[in-house]
Structure 1
Amino acid sequence: MRTLALLDRLAARAAERPDAPAVANDDGRPVDRATLVRRVRALARGLVAAGLAPGDRVLFAVRPSVEAIVAILAVVEAGGVLVAAEVGTGSALFAARMALVRPRWVIGESLLLAAAGSRVARAIARRRGVDLPSLDALREARLVRVGPWLPGMRGARAATAIERAGVEAPHVALPAAREDAPAFVVFTSGTTAAPRAVVHTQRSLRATLDVVGASLAVADGDVLYAGELHLALPALLAGARVVVPPRGALDPAATIRALAAHGATHTFLVPADAQRVADHLAARGAACPSTLRHLLLGAAPVEVPLLRRLRAVLPPSATAWAIYGMTEILPVATVSIDEKLAWTGEGDLLGAPVPGIEARVADDGELLLRGPQLCAGYLGEPEMTEHATGDVVRVDEHGRLVLLGRAKDMIIRGHHNVYPALHEPVVARIPGVRRCAMVGVRDDRASDERIVLVVEPDAGTDAAALARALPAALRAEATRIDDAALPDRILVMALPEVGRSRKIDRAALRALAGRALRETAERA
């Protein structure tokens, strides 16, 4: 039996109730369990027959959908290593990341592959503020498209054709995999000169799926309304039906209608989206559908004011859970809405570590973690035996983790992790900029962080003229930064310093930035 054995576990569910719906797009017909297993097996065999070998890295650029889930499962079953694509990071960083991982395959949406293969399309996208990567960084990779043929795709083969070929090749054997074999690669912090990628093995990925499944409290017959892979797969393995939300920004009204229409028992939201849903319901004196039992919150800090708003609109028997974790090890701890609302101590209650997690606090307060979900390490770097989170914590008398602060300067905005060290050197290249700093300021009204960019001008540079030029400069080819990192407010001023080394005082900077944002809000 293969280590992850996802298809074997799904097949066992299909044997129980083959016609039971398994997965559906929000606006589409559900795919039943037996059909899902057949499609995954056929695509996996088709990929192997087409030349995908165990250990081949497969860059994956398909947004959440039924087709994405089929393709992900098929790649894993075929022995490939999934590489999460982040195409909005800018062409230079994308090229550096591709040079690091060197994918042999790319599975992408037709429109994305066509646009990435066309200089004209990329130029049009840049004028609209989107820096699409070029396929030149993937010259040696084999392309597979999900969707119709479009001009500029450079010979991309259709996933449907590969799936049909797999149906006609039942003799093709799917490979076995070692527990320590890589299974999933996702990029994290790092500059263009030194990108970093987290590598999860078959062992750590299976442990993650099992622990997330237990944390979900999902069972046969439940309905999960979410497209996140680390939630969708455990739900499918438990026999639940997965409904994938539509693409694009969350529409609170449409989300509430979908939860009711599908009889959703579980859903996942980032805090910023949860805030929008709560505000929408409160403004109408409405509540979440009565079928909803579990609301999962993650990817950013979950503040008590948001939880109070959610408690007012959730069904009385439902609860919300905040999940704490990171790319290197997920999940780490969970805490219920009631626990957080009852918390009166200093800091942010993260909850008790999930089973298997070994948490210890270093002398300086930093949280260090081990456990079966721990990744193998960063690609090209030594094996990781313990993860230093950069978070400063303490452990309360009940064994729960309490977050006291972030040693790292990472900013969490919506679904995105923004690393200032990745973008500040780029901003510093803009003419007239002496130095700069990017800080996150918590906005409780939106349950999200706002980004403030503070730029110190060169001597003799007109500060007002620099302030006017910066927005366009941040989108220019030579000095482009991620769309997710574009600042909500730009300040041109002398940067505060601290200590003998005259380092930038980021604490003072956050205070200044917070005041600037409040003044802007008051004027608005």
Structure 2
Amino acid sequence: MGNEAIVPLDPQWPRLSLAQAQGLLTAPGAPFEMESVDIRGVPTRVWKNAPPSLRVITQLVRAYGMRDFTVYEGERVSFEANYRATCHIARRLVALGVGKGDRVALAMRNLPEWPAIFFAAASIGAIVVPLNAWWTGSEIDYAVRDSGAKILFVDGERDARLKDCYGDWPALEAVVVSRGAGPSAVRLEDWLGGANDWAGLDDVGLPEVEVAPDDDVTIFYTSGTTGSPKGALGTHRNLITNVLSSGYCAARTTLRRGETPASPPEPKRGLLVIPLFHVTACSASLMGAVVTGSTLYFMRKWDAAQAMDLIQRERIQLTGGVPTIAWQLLEHPEREQYDLSSLESVSYGGAPSAPELVKRIREAFGAQPGNGWGMTETMATVTLHSGEEYLARPTSAGPPVPVADLKIMDADGKVELPVGEVGELWARGPMIVKGYWNKPEATAETFVDGWVRTGDLARLDEEGYLYIVDRAKDMVIRGGENIYSSEVENVLYAHPAVTDCALIGLPHRVLGEEPAAVVHLAPGAQAGEAELQDWVRARLAAFKVPVAIRFVSEVLPRNAQGKILKRELHALFAEEAAA
């Protein structure tokens, strides 16, 4: 359990222990001082200096003025321009009758208008519902209906996919299309012009609305292992907690190295390649960039060569998101042709990663690797470490931030297990969401007295570092995208030839995992691999389609409780597992 460093570390590291660094950073009067507040009846440690709401953040960051906030191809939007666009959208929403608690759905790729729409809705007390832009029409249909969205913002691609559904959503009152020309929708450009025009918008300010820290602000959908997707209901405090949690971890790493953290933090240039509809991008990356005055660069579609060209041209300092990104940069045959020396940090979470990756990031780029653990129900960051902390423990997800608590519980959730033992990970803190939208039973099962039962199997070491061992929830994570086995299995079961099936994850060096299926066909029935893959592809997003399907003559092996013994199925994919 101790030090497992895979690269040589400074023999003087660490200058401070975790406890010493935390003591300095959280002392009375220090930037990361804590206090206890009551959250839904549970006394909870919070960051004392956290802004009270996203509305306040929206107004404060105007101070960054003409500094670039978002850059997308030929569009450069300053903080001032984004603020003006945000205010105009907010006032349009109020004119459309949107008030506190109303749901505003958002389905588009990473574009400059995404954060403007997000902060506009949040600033008037509405609940933003970021929808996975990769979802099929039926998947988005469920989320729009379940959330009861009143307004839907889409880009042109989503408009083309969804326009036939608009009339089927009873709560939906208006659709606003960006970069499209839907005949049944309002054009965002009619409100704002193009992104490069926003700086010239009138300074109208935000509508007057009272917004409190524990008011609802987001619904992020996360599929469960059974049944329909669940919408995690987040608060302003949930998202803002991440801002200080990320800042704290950066300061702790610097202190333990023997250096003095910058105050205020230095603005950075970051390449954001993970979608903003994920909590990692929205709650961790976007919030951190806004508060520190950093610049976010968007790409229309991930391409490693284009990313390296962008890093070189714009002197990008931060990137990452999921291990896939790092691997593709490291292993690109043309990497040596680009000057990537500006990279200071490559951080990721959301998918398994090999210790080898940690080492290679440091050796190839001279950058600090970073990793952490969180989930939709924790609004991203619960644990985080980078630099020497991560290099010393490359199989760990880091220690919890000071406002969070972790514990390892037995299978029944009754007994807390000792240090080093594997059990179910429970987490508590101001980043934990309120519960699941419209699902009181699922909420009661998952959220217990301020704790969230994560479904992850994990252990903690003697210093509190977290090690994720396995997932109790039946899920495959492909390049940071969650694929819930039951969802794919249910689609396969719907095929007339299939009588038994299971989805498993195949180890993949770059993506972490890929989905694969084992199928037993009905007597006399016929179906091939390509046919079943096409069957799934027609009903679910492309990243959920099994990359391989194996057919067995007998029903799948099960335990005494009737659950399929998935570990026994991996031998059928020996070739893929070695990829």
- The change in CA–CA distance for 1:499 and 1:70 in structure 2 (over 3 A counts) is closer
> Which of 359, 382, 386 lines up with 1:332 in the alignment?
382
Q: 1:320 aligned to 2:384?
A: no
Q: Which runs of 5+ in 2 are unaligned?
A: 1-49, 252-263, 274-280, 412-422
Segment drifting more, 223-232 vs 398-407: 223-232
Q: Is the 8 Å Cα contact of residues 89 and 481 (structure 1) preserved in structure 2?
A: yes
CA distance in 1, matches of 2:577, 2:127: 46
Superposed structure 1 runs of 4+ greater than 6 Å apart? 164-169
How far 1:139 sits from its partner (Å)?
4.5
How far 1:44 sits from its partner (Å)?
1.3
Q: Deviations over 1:133-153 (max 9, x none)?
A: x324435413343435524x4
Q: In the alignment, what sits opposite 1:108?
A: 154
How far 1:439 sits from its partner (Å)?
0.3
> Which of 569, 575, 578 lines up with 1:509 in the alignment?
569
How far 1:183 sits from its partner (Å)?
0.3
How far 1:416 sits from its partner (Å)?
1.1
1:504 is paired with a residue of what secondary structure? coil
- The change in CA–CA distance for 1:497 and 1:47 in structure 2 (over 3 A counts) is same
CA distance in 2, matches of 1:286, 1:309: 18
CA distance in 2, matches of 1:143, 1:298: 36
The one-letter code of the counterpart of 1:186 is F
1:351 is paired with a residue of what secondary structure? coil
- The change in CA–CA distance for 1:342 and 1:210 in structure 2 (over 3 A counts) is closer
Q: In the alignment, what sits opposite 1:147?
A: 178
Matches within 5 A, 1:117-516: 117-118=163-164, 134-148=165-179, 150-151=181-182, 153-154=183-184, 156-163=185-192, 170=204, 173-190=207-224, 194-215=228-249, 219-226=265-272, 228-230=281-283, 231-244=285-298, 246-248=299-301, 250-280=302-332, 284-285=335-336, 289-315=340-366, 318-329=367-378, 330-336=380-386, 338-343=388-393, 348-364=395-411, 365-380=423-438, 381=440, 382=443, 384=447, 385-444=450-509, 446-462=510-526, 465-467=527-529, 469-476=531-538, 480-493=539-552, 494-513=554-573, 515-516=574-575
The one-letter code of the counterpart of 1:159 is L
Q: Is the 8 Å Cα contact of residues 323 and 351 (structure 2) preserved in structure 1?
A: yes
Q: In the alignment, what sits opposite 1:127?
A: none
Segment drifting more, 285-294 vs 2-11: 2-11
Q: Deviations over 1:13-59 (max 9, x none)?
A: 443x523222221x224222322222222221222123211111011
CA distance in 1, matches of 2:215, 2:464: 34
Calculate the TM-score normalised by the size of structure 1: 0.84
Q: Is the 8 Å Cα contact of residues 335 and 350 (structure 1) preserved in structure 2?
A: yes
CA distance in 2, matches of 1:454, 1:271: 27
The one-letter code of the counterpart of 2:154 is G
Q: Deviations over 1:378-420 (max 9, x none)?
A: 1122463211111122211222112222212210011310001
- The change in CA–CA distance for 1:107 and 1:3 in structure 2 (over 3 A counts) is farther
CA distance in 2, matches of 1:148, 1:286: 35
CA distance in 2, matches of 1:148, 1:485: 28
Q: Is the 8 Å Cα contact of residues 520 and 555 (structure 2) preserved in structure 1?
A: yes
- The change in CA–CA distance for 1:225 and 1:439 in structure 2 (over 3 A counts) is same
Q: Is the 8 Å Cα contact of residues 96 and 192 (structure 1) preserved in structure 2?
A: no
1:65 is paired with a residue of what secondary structure? coil
2:410 is paired with a residue of what secondary structure? coil
- Paired positions, count: 485
The one-letter code of the counterpart of 1:143 is A
CA distance in 2, matches of 1:488, 1:351: 32
CA distance in 2, matches of 1:52, 1:320: 42
How far 1:206 sits from its partner (Å)?
1.8
CA distance in 1, matches of 2:203, 2:577: 63
Identity %: 25
The one-letter code of the counterpart of 1:505 is L
How far 1:367 sits from its partner (Å)?
0.7
Q: In the alignment, what sits opposite 1:9?
A: 57
Calculate the TM-score normalised by the size of structure 2: 0.77
CA distance in 2, matches of 1:510, 1:299: 22
Q: Is the 8 Å Cα contact of residues 326 and 346 (structure 2) preserved in structure 1?
A: no
Q: Is the 8 Å Cα contact of residues 328 and 387 (structure 1) preserved in structure 2?
A: yes
The one-letter code of the counterpart of 1:327 is T
- The change in CA–CA distance for 1:190 and 1:490 in structure 2 (over 3 A counts) is same
Q: Is the 8 Å Cα contact of residues 58 and 81 (structure 1) preserved in structure 2?
A: yes
CA distance in 2, matches of 1:496, 1:368: 32
- The change in CA–CA distance for 1:255 and 1:460 in structure 2 (over 3 A counts) is same
CA distance in 2, matches of 1:411, 1:171: 45
How far 1:320 sits from its partner (Å)?
1.0
Q: In the alignment, what sits opposite 2:9?
A: none
Q: Is the 8 Å Cα contact of residues 67 and 146 (structure 1) preserved in structure 2?
A: no
How far 1:254 sits from its partner (Å)?
1.3
CA distance in 2, matches of 1:169, 1:18: 13
The one-letter code of the counterpart of 2:322 is V
CA distance in 2, matches of 1:406, 1:435: 23
- The change in CA–CA distance for 1:288 and 1:495 in structure 2 (over 3 A counts) is farther
The one-letter code of the counterpart of 2:190 is A
Segment drifting more, 230-239 vs 353-362: 230-239
- The change in CA–CA distance for 1:142 and 1:168 in structure 2 (over 3 A counts) is farther
The one-letter code of the counterpart of 2:533 is P
Q: In the alignment, what sits opposite 1:36?
A: 82
CA distance in 1, matches of 2:213, 2:393: 40
Q: Which runs of 5+ in 1 are unaligned?
A: 119-133
Name which structure has the greater RCO, CA cutoff 8 Å, separation 6+: 2
Q: Deviations over 1:71-118 (max 9, x none)?
A: 111111122111011254344443333332110110111332244225
Q: In the alignment, what sits opposite 2:111?
A: 65
Q: Is the 8 Å Cα contact of residues 224 and 232 (structure 1) preserved in structure 2?
A: no
